Structure 1
Amino acid sequence: MRRAAVSVLGGTAVLMSLLAPAGRDPVPAADAVPAFPAVNYAVAVDESASLAADDLKAEKAAAARIALGDVSSDSHVTVYGFAAAESADQRAVDPVCPRTGLDAAGRESIDACVGKLRARKKDEGTGTDFPSAIRQGVHDLTDGTDPAQPRVLFLLTDGKLDVTGSPAYGDPAHRTAEGERQLKQELANAAAHGVQVWPLGFGPDPDRQQLDRMAAGGYQKGCVALPSAAPKAHKVSGAKDIGATLEEIFAAAHCLRHEQGPSKRPPATLEIGISPLATVGSIVVDKGDPAVRITYFDPRGHKVPTHGTYENSALELAGGSGPVEALKIVDPLPGTWKVKAEAPEGHRSLPVAVSVLWQGELRGALTADPPSPQTGDKVTVTMRLQTREGYEIKDPRDYAGLRVAGELTGTGITALPLRLADDGTAPDRTAGDGDFTGTVQIPAAARGTLKVSATLTASGLKADTRDLGVDVAPGAPPVTAALDLPAADTHPGATVTGTLAVHNTTSTAHTLRLTTADVRTGLLTLSPAQLTLKPGESGTREVSVEVAPASVFGNRLGDGLSLAATVRVTDTTDGDRALVASPLSLRVTPEPGIWDRFWWAFVGAAVALVVAAALVAAWIGLRRRRRDPYGLRLRLVSEDGDVLSEHKAGHGNKKQWYEFAVAEAHRSPRLEKRSHGPYAVRRNPEGGAVLRTQGGRTPLRAGGRVALTDLLHLELAEDTPSGGRPSRSATVPAPDGGSGGAYEDYL
């Protein structure tokens, strides 16, 4: 239980450092530095009699972790315990940490003051006085503080309102009703002073309806105008659920995104993804045991430092010596990060869990088709989601909860609402692809330049409003154009080619300008940048887009990224009238290496080598089997032709020779296997066998004889060779010379 709470509030501290107010910034700025404003927050810790000892330990550890893990030195925290005052010498609230700035000195003092939180004894007032707890929190959060800073009260409790033993609430028969009245009054006071109340109940006793009333009674305006940012009560069954739930609460309260990763016992490597939308993120690691050592690796596999700058990111570690630590990263490299956990023997029993909390920036590229409509035309408007650097966003999880609101305004018309959706319903092409599409009809009274506006709003993502001018054409345009520049997969430094169909209906020349928009400068180069149409010209012109070299993308390229842009064609001769506003999507991946380009050749060569090796091995094996002497029947024959003994040969040595000798040649001659004997025999692949003696090698056919001594001869009986194939007859030359036939090479 203690470990779970420590984990939760350790991660919460990091959240406090990531807050950045929403705002408008329609100009892409990849080098913009996110802000980290201070937070003014209070933590009310339940000390009532219903609280178990382990629960109190968990709350104490959690309160300490919030302060120790906060990376903003300008933030302030107040921590106090509460129960109830049930006599004149008691008080409902125990202030343990007065408003403390979280600079270096403040952090040093937090551990000591949080340690003063204590379990109430039976004679110290053991009820649950929520009105007093909220009153204390509102006072601490508003007395001498900056109203521009967020004011948040986190109320941790395992019980429900109980002031039945508190004389301050009047007659015993009416104390519960008076407690409810004062609770309602203090919540109204919190709302009036801009204090949000986020209750977290745990264990079996909290009253969910009462928790909901407390959340709804405080200040309701969240960081964005979305239901997800409004204060809500949460209830979990026990310590195991506190961590993820409380991180979700902090994310909702402060417009942060939260992703929960895996948990494993050390030694282990855990993976967690950081969205390409993130401008600042924090990888929160619940080590469980302070002895666990953590190393961080970016999506390219490079070990990153825990303090200072690295590549284009700024990093800062908090809580490295405790059971929870968090690596805050400004402008993090998107992709899958790895967290390597190592621990000495005896410190590996608790799992290590990882999560990421981030705040990001979402931008949109707004296009209209046709770009210069006439009255009565239906215009298709598309808002394509992008990162602040102009990269496409295709993962719906990155913009979950997004709201897109649009309108059409201009001279001669009242504002017309514009519904933009990414639901796959016409005119939207594909659901969940990051393109929000809608249509609007140009009113008959419209004239001049109209304005299409669209605003993206999502919790955890900086809001973005885009405006697009649409010129109403009084009649048929003198010049028309259509661009065919399809989406493509390409590499840095490569060129993508398309065509521009043009038609000039006038008797004068027109100059067209081609530009790219909604993409970071330098990533794409359009050619030609300008072209001139002859009077009456109709045809096609080649248009190319060159992708920047790999060095321009830096560490963002990784395994590849989707680059988005809008190609615009305007008629400078006709007052810069828009002819084309076409979206362009390019998947840019690193230049393939030798393996990627010629893998088929490498695979083919490897297959050929394997086949050749198999053939050689098969040939060698066959050759050995055809020479194997096993089964040859050797007869020892006298000078008169009598068979003195018969011997069946076994398997030969490495070279397939079966070695033997003549035993008791003068008394009872017989053939006998003998290593390094004077004679050896093996099969001849062409049939029969070959006899090896000290005088050389002699072919021996079935039924044939070769002299071993003056009185003894060796005869080869008819035989079925190894493998069951009958032997073939062969002409055997005399030992003293002659042709060896087709098998001579085997002798």
Structure 2
Amino acid sequence: MPHLLFARPPGRGPTGARARGRRRATGGLGRAAALTAASLLTVGLLPGPASAEPSPTAAPTTAPAPTSAPPAAVGPVDYAIAVDESGSLKPAEVDRERAAAAGIALGEVHPKSTVTVLGFASADNESQHPVDEVCPPTVLDGAGRDRIGRCISGLRSRRPDEGQGTDFPNAVLQGVSRLAAGADPATPRVLFLLTDGRLDVGDSPAYGDPAHRAAAGEEALTRALAAAQAARIQVWPLGFGSDIDRAALDRMAAAGFQGGCVDLPDAQPRATVVPDATAVADAMRTAFAAAHCLRATAGGTGHPPIDIEVRISPLTTVGSIVVDKGDPLVTATYVDPDGREITGTTTDPVSKFELSPRDQTVESLRITDPKPGQWRVHLDAPADHRAQLATVNVLWRGALRGSITMAPPSPRAGERAVVTLRLQTRQGVEVTDPQDLKDLRVSAVLSGEGFAPVPVKLADDGSAPDGRAGDGAFSGTVTVPAAATGRIKVSGTLAASGLTADEDRSQGTLVAPAVPLVTAALTLDDGAGRRLHPGDELAGSLALHNADGAPHTLRPALRDTAPGLLAVTPEEITLAPGESRRVDVAVTAARPGAFHGLLDGGDLRLGGKVTVVDTTDRDRVLVDSPLSLTITRAPTFWETWWWALLLGGLVAVLAVLAALALRLRARLGKDPAGLRLLLLDPEGRQVADIAADSGTKRWYAFDVHGLGGPDPRLVRQPGGPYRVQRSLDGGVVLERRGQARARIQPDRPVPLAGGLAVGIRDERRGRTRPAGRPTPPDAGAQTVVDDYI
């Protein structure tokens, strides 16, 4: 089984260099680059004034427990910046150099880092000197920052009588002398050489007669760079201008120390050519990250007020959001992926924040265990301080875990096996984002008893045996040597800028015999796409066979997974001699409380592998199966039963509407509005009428006035002795106060006092003319009105 070893890593290296054209001013581009370079050099990831750097994985009790030892803390740096003071520089450019040196001193946050600021040109006579040590090596504690702020005023443009050439050899030697004198040889040493010109010692007597001075200068530069290499000092030339000797700058970069970080091209010192002002920030960020074994992520640029977003990788253990504001009056507000404003005093159960002084041109927010995702920096400034271009970048260091498998898990001698290394974050989450996978170099070595180590080439390009390109699984094949006799081991190696491995997962296996005595085959359910809620389980089975004459004990286990989030059952299986059977297995996700907010940002994709070893046969690996699960937040009650609640609510609404409809129908069905009351004499003639309205509580009350007189009439009278109302069957009910209700039958009026009768016509149904003479009501004959209800 595999053994995983990760190599030490840095940031991505620069891609070129730029030198100044001989005696040509650059209109300030070189000095602008110097300022930006110094700004980026100063803030980085260096720990703040707190004593020891906290472990990036030392989370509080509310967070998942650390899975391993943290990567090495980012400590102090000894660096020197050699700045060209030759005669081609204008006063404004010297001002920018002063600002660059001030940015270094005031932006550096580690109290034990040192900075040396050098100005150089040439010595054209014995009274001149090629290098000005503007600021000697200064420890950047509080007092050191004050001294740096004063001494950088010594940076100036050389006058003709002070030497105006470009003496690189002496500038490099002065930087080497100061950096090599550092007390701790393990502290990184970096010399940044900022220049806008070529080597020019033609007027310097120290290099011999004029005819040979150019060659002597080249030889002296070769010796100076060899001294830098011997002192383990990286040289990063940063060139600006229109007349560049790129080959010379590349030579200076290649001649310095090359072993600061991992053995990757982008991590090696290289000359950086900056074609224009817009490329300055990117070139300096890249160079600084590579020189200090960090990774760099570009954010954006713009003039305040503006919001600039920058991504923080889930691999990050410690990082700094670096803001080059261009003007100290620009203010920066930091907002995390959850929309929370972050300051230097923000408390968080997982992350720790340190904010550098905010009244300088450059500031940074340093974060330990930052929340991954898109961060936002809001920049604002007074109306008259918005002209300077601001840039936002992230410099960071991270940690990776790896899960390496071999198929078959116990190959025979001479058999070909597929080796796969899957990358994970420290929390066991699979790494699949292309931004996190770029610039990685992954390989493996097969070693064991009876044969020399065999290199294994791994790739994530989708070519067989790799399954899919860019999924974070690097695969390759290796043939187990025929001489293999016992234990074998696969060791995976990752080389990546700014990344370290946080754990060694060594596990060996045995070369399988020609006829294995015990075999096992694992099958896991894929029916749900391997998506689980906390507390759910993924079912599977083991097909087992024991051809031995003795019992064997097998032990299933999960490896390379985040502790406490997944479990496998059963923990142990015993196979009797000659037994073949199938055993149910299950991978179970932990309860919701174990995830501690890990699902707040969405689904969690966990990786690892399921192994089954035969403890009876020296832990021979029988199953070594990769595992990939997506854990999703458990649905709420509403999310689970929304359809039932919605249906129930709909039924309730319909029931209410039906009840209201029935009630309305009842009310409307009894409403007497539209009825016309007809007062009839004893002969059945109509002598008066009145139109009924809705009345009170759907009863229309009335009385008869003028009884016994020549002119009887109907009068609306609330509380009167008579009242009418429709019935639900379409008829009409007449009620006399204190007496029983009477239903008015079709074509039959109801007698009232004094020989009068009342008939009803429903005007909502229209009028029907009478047919023939009616019988008087007291005789029960048909009335004149034939549409009574």
What TM-score do you get using the length of structure 2 for normalisation? 0.72
Q: Distance in 2 between matches of 1:738 and 1:92?
A: 131
Q: Tell me which moved more, 298-307 or 183-192.
A: 298-307
2:27 maps to 1:17: no
- From the superposition, tell whether residues 587 and 124 of structure 1 become closer, same or farther in structure 2 (CA, over 3 Å): same
Separation in 1, partners of 2:235, 2:199: 16
- Structure 2: 5+ residue stretches without partners: 1-28, 58-64, 653-763, 771-783
Matched letter for residue 490 of structure 1: L
1:202-258 Cα distance to aligned partner (Å, 9 max, x none):
122332222112112222223112222221111113333211101111112222111
Q: Deviations over 1:443-485 (max 9, x none)?
A: 3332221122221111211257654412112242333221122
Which residue of the partner structure matches residue 183 of structure 2? 145
Letter paired with 2:439: G
Work out whether 1:538 is the aligned partner of 2:576.
no
Aligned counterparts, 1:164-243, within 5 A: 164-243=202-281
Structure 1 residues 54-453: aligned runs within 5 Å: 54-307=92-345, 310-453=348-491
Give the match for residue 512 of structure 2: 473
Cα drift, residue 282 of structure 1: 0.9
Q: Which is further off, 549-558 or 488-497?
A: 549-558
Asked whether the 8 Å contact 2:437–2:470 carries over to 1, the reply is: no
Match status 1:554 vs 2:588: no
What amino acid is aligned across from residue 46 of structure 2 in structure 1?
S
Q: CA deviation at 1:56?
A: 2.7
For 1:239 and 1:735, locate their aligned partners in 2 and report how far apart those are by CA, in whole Å.
Answer: 102
Match of 1:645 in 2: none
> Counterpart of 2:161 in 1: which secondary structure?
coil
Amino acid at match of 1:476: V
CA spacing shift, 1:367–1:185, aligned 2, 3 Å: same
* Pairwise CA distance, 1:294: 2.0
Q: Distance in 2 between matches of 1:450 and 1:212?
A: 44
Mean CA deviation greater in 83-92 or 72-81: 83-92
Instruction: Find the aligned partners of 1:171 and 1:102 in 2 and give their Cα distance.
Output: 43
Once the two structures are superposed, residues 507-559 of structure 1 have per-residue CA deviations (whole angstroms, 9 ceiling, x without a partner) of 65443211111123212111222233455443432222222234433344422
Distance 2:33 2:250 in 1: 24
CA contact 1:73–1:101 (8 Å) conserved in 2 = yes
Deviates more, 1:539-548 or 1:430-439: 539-548
In the alignment, the residues of structure 2 paired with residue 57 and residue 205 of structure 1 have an alpha-carbon distance, to the nearest angstrom, of: 23
Partner residue of 1:483?
Answer: 522
Secondary structure, aligned partner of 1:357: strand
Aligned-pair distance for 1:82?
0.8
2-structure distance, mates of 1:438, 1:187: 41
Distance in 1 (CA, whole Å) between partners of 2:185 and 2:629 is 46
1:176-222: CA deviations, max 9, x gaps? 22222222221222222222211101122332222112112222223
Distance 2:211 2:651 in 1: 95
Contact 1:10 / 1:68 at 8 angstroms: preserved in 2?
Answer: no
Aligned AA for 2:767?
A: P
- Counterpart CA distance in 1 for 2:204 and 2:109 is 40
Q: SS of the counterpart of 2:136?
A: strand
In structure 2, the CA distance between the partners of 1:739 and 1:191, relative to structure 1 (3 Å rule), is: farther
CA RMSD, 1 decimal? 3.4
Please tell me whether the aligned partners of residues 16 and 70 of structure 1 are also in contact (alpha carbons under 8 angstroms). Answer: no
Distance in 2 of aligned mates of 1:429 and 1:740: 90
Q: Which has the larger radius of gyration?
A: 2
| In 2, Cα distance between equivalents of 1:237 and 1:49 | 22
SS in 2 for 1:415: strand
Q: Is the 8 A contact 1:453 1:466 kept in 2?
A: no
Q: Equivalents in 2 of 1:469, 1:732: separation in Å?
A: 102
2:567 equivalent in structure 1:
525
Deviation at 1:140, TM superposition (A): 0.8
> CA, structure 1 residues 324+434, in 2 after alignment: closer, same or farther (shift >3 Å)?
same
Alpha-carbon distance in structure 1 between the residues aligned to 2:621 and 2:397:
36
Query: Paired residues, what number?
Result: 619
Who is 1:717 aligned against?
none
Pair 1:336–1:110, CA change in 2 (3 A)? same
Residue 589 of structure 1: aligned partner: 632
Q: Does 1:573 align with 2:616?
A: yes
Report the Cα offset of residue 566 of structure 1.
1.3
What is the TM-score with the length of structure 1 in the denominator? 0.76
| Alignment-mate amino acid for residue 252 of structure 2 | M
Question: After alignment, is 106-115 or 71-80 more displaced?
Answer: 106-115
Q: Structure 1 unaligned runs (5+)? A: 610-729, 742-747
> Using the alignment, how far apart are the partners of 2:164 and 2:496 within structure 1?
43
Aligned partners of 1:738 and 1:340: how far apart in 2? 88
Q: What's the offset of the Cα at 1:434?
A: 1.1
How many angstroms apart in 2 are the aligned matches of 1:603 and 1:209?
74
2:151 is paired with a residue whose SS is helix
Q: Once the 2 structures are TM-superposed, how far is the Cα of residue 284 of structure 1 from its aligned partner?
A: 0.8
1:8 to partner: Cα distance: 3.8
CA 1:604–1:14 in 2, change beyond 3 Å: closer, same or farther? farther
Which amino acid in structure 1 is aligned with residue 209 of structure 2? D
Any conservation in 1 of the 2:43–2:363 contact (CA below 8 Å)? no
In 2, Cα distance between equivalents of 1:357 and 1:52? 33
Residues 738 and 482 (structure 1), Cα distance of their counterparts in 2 relative to 1, 3 Å cut: farther
CA distance in 2, matches of 1:369, 1:470: 12
Residue pair 1:373, 1:470 contacting (<8 A) in 2 also = no
Question: Which amino acid counterpart does residue 218 of structure 1 have in structure 2?
Answer: G
Higher relative contact order (CA 8 A, sep 6+): 2
Question: Over residues 639-694 of structure 1, what are the superposed CA-to-partner deviations in whole Å (9 max), with x where a residue is unaligned?
Answer: xxxxxxxxxxxxxxxxxxxxxxxxxxxxxxxxxxxxxxxxxxxxxxxxxxxxxxxx
Q: Quote the offset at 1:146 in angstroms.
A: 2.4
Rounded to whole Å, the distance in 1 between the matches of 2:633 and 2:536 is 11
CA contact (8 A) 2:320 2:394 kept: yes
Deviations 1:115-141 (A, max 9, x none): 221122233222111111111111111
451-460 or 244-253: bigger deviation:
451-460
SS of residue in 1 equivalent to 2:596:
helix
Q: CA deviation at 1:100?
A: 0.4
